[in-house]
Structure 1
Amino acid sequence: MKGIIERRSIRKYTDEKISDEKIKEILKAGMYAPSGGNAQPWEFVVVRDKELLNEITKIHPYSHPLKEADCAIIVCGNLEKEKFKDLWIQDCSAATENMLLGAHGLGIGSVWLGLYPEMDRVDGVRKLIKAPENVIPFSIVSLGYPGEERTVVDRYDENNVHYENW
């Protein structure tokens, strides 16, 4: 619970490099996400190239953290792996969240940058990473060692909880 509650979206990073081993651990966290029918319809594109990260910022209007990020992981849904129509969306959401939590546990800052269902973002990123048509870029996890501290805010609100019925 501590990791879930203390994880914050980090948009500013230091220059410190993330090791390949830690990137692999973050990817592993994504691959351990629950998946409908255990389809695991995800694919991950690791981007370290600064030029490519900067190109993404021209496509995605809220992706400025990529300018300072050491790395980004683009989470994609592979429709050829899909067992149940459109469950890839939930599966890729779970994988993205697992990677955010995994990064936090390793002391690495991250922020979820949404692509899908904004098709201009999806198509633009798909072209940049040369993904086939059956692969849909879903989200980007921007990664770097935190260059900012974010406070924890109590988000629990009993008004949003209903028991047995509405």
Structure 2
Amino acid sequence: MKNSVLIIAFISIMATSCCNNRPQEDFIRTQDAIENIMSRKSVRKYLPKPVEEEKVQILLKAGMAAPSGKDVRPWEFVVVTERSLLDTLAEALPYAKMLRQAPLAIVVCGDTAKSSYWYLDCSAAAENILLAAEALKLGAVWTAAYPYDDRMAVVKKETGLPENILPLCVIPVGYPAIPHSPKNKYDETKIHKNRWR
């Protein structure tokens, strides 16, 4: 009996110790990875509610967890929360008008001095951010800057990016104002076994 009590006490201490050492984001309940991927949707209408700093940090950590060719990690992120800057970007970017409602945006950028294929690595980082937003019950949408010279010029100017840092996309983020449903994009005609047929 005494040994049983000691074993239970040991397990309890170990469980408490393990939980205390886990990253904070582990305590936010999220859905299964496959369910999360299938649930992702583009959200363009947001509540007038700020996104908590800890959730912003999780989004950025998710972005930086992306795969990267030769592990170069050429990404840089600009977190925009200034209302006037969000409004200026909304005015200047043709497909980012929802920035007027968004409480924040993450500009995913790449360092061209580190990698000539920065836009590939940064695309993976951007997708991770979108999936993390879905998991956190936030709404987000990819709005392209790259490869459009005019859009890239606006983002570079307004965010003060150095010459070697190019913007890939601007991701507005916020709490969804209305319910959204994911699109079923599965298409068997896009699948080719062994050879194109």
CA distance in 1, matches of 2:118, 2:195: 29
Other-structure match for 2:97: 64
CA distance in 2, matches of 1:18, 1:124: 25
Structure 1 residue 10 corresponds to structure 2 residue 10: no
Structure 1 residue 139 corresponds to structure 2 residue 169: yes
Other-structure match for 1:47: 80
Structure 1 residue 19 corresponds to structure 2 residue 52: yes
CA distance in 2, matches of 1:45, 1:128: 11
Shift of residue 3, structure 1, vs aligned partner: 0.5
CA distance in 1, matches of 2:182, 2:165: 36
Matched position secondary structure for 2:184: coil
1:146-165 → structure 2 map (5 Å cutoff):
146-165=176-195
Shift of residue 154, structure 1, vs aligned partner: 2.0
Q: 2:112 aligns with which of 38, 55, 79?
A: 79
State, as a whole percentage, how many aligned pairs show the same letter.
Answer: 42
CA distance in 1, matches of 2:183, 2:152: 32
CA distance in 1, matches of 2:181, 2:154: 34
Greater C-alpha Rg: 2
CA distance in 1, matches of 2:183, 2:133: 20
Tell me, yes or no, if the aligned pair for 2:109 and 2:167 is still in contact at 8 Å: yes
Task: Decide which structure has greater helix share.
Answer: 2
Question: Per-residue displacement from partner, 1:107-129 (whole Å, max 9, x unpaired)?
Answer: 11000011000010001110111
Shift of residue 17, structure 1, vs aligned partner: 1.2
Structure 1 residue 112 corresponds to structure 2 residue 142: yes
Question: Which one scores higher on RCO, CA 8 angstroms, separation ≥ 6?
Answer: 1
Shift of residue 64, structure 1, vs aligned partner: 1.0
CA distance in 2, matches of 1:6, 1:162: 25
RMSD over aligned Cα atoms: 0.9
Structure 2: gaps of 5 or more residues:
1-33
Tell me, yes or no, if the aligned pair for 2:79 and 2:105 is still in contact at 8 Å: yes
CA distance in 1, matches of 2:191, 2:129: 27
